[in-house]
Amino acid sequence: MFNTKETAKAPATTPAAINLIGAGTSIEGEITSDGDIRIDGKVKGTVNSKAKIVIGNTGVVEGDLICDNADVSGKVFGKLQVEDLLFLKATGYLEGDIITGKLVVESGSRFSGSCRMGVKEIKPQSEKTGTAQSSQREPVAYELS
């Protein structure tokens, strides 16, 4: 009775954490998460999530966002690579390029940059053909995957 060994079993799947960077918080560096991320403070660097990234009204990101889904109500200065849906809210401001599956833009939001929709990944042609690019500053031709 007292000598029985029962092993505690961990749940088969652990729900991903929701990460919050609150207003008044400033982070510099790369952030990587399997769960959702909400940013109401300031982040300088790349933010990578396998789930959803939400930039709140007071949130500011100076860097790239890479995720499955994103809602932008604050400010983003950088490239966005969103696998599924990018939602630019009315208070959202974005300076940078977008690569996304789907895009929703509310009236009042501001966006400056280029946008590619329905694209999984964009690679310079030199990567696809295996030829080396010269070190001179020349326009790079892009091809959709």
Of residues 99 and 134, more confidently modeled: 99
pLDDT at residue 18, as a whole number: 84
Prediction pTM value? 0.72
* DSSP letters spanning 56-118: -TT-EEES-EEEEEEEESSEEES-EEEEEEEEE-TT-EEES-EEEEEEEE-TT-EEES-EEES
Mean pLDDT of the chain: 82
pLDDT at residue 135, as a whole number: 43
Q: Residue 29 pLDDT more than 70?
A: yes
Q: Is 118 exposed, middle or buried (0-12, 13-18, 19+ CB in 10 A)?
A: exposed
Nearest Cα to Cα of residue 55 among 23, 30, 83? 23
pLDDT in tens, 65-106: 999 999 999 999 999 999 999 999 999 999 999 999 999 999
Q: Residue 6 pLDDT more than 90?
A: no
pLDDT at residue 118, as a whole number: 82
Q: Estimate to the nearest angstrom the gap between the alpha carbon of 16 and the chain centroid.
A: 16
pLDDT at residue 145, as a whole number: 45
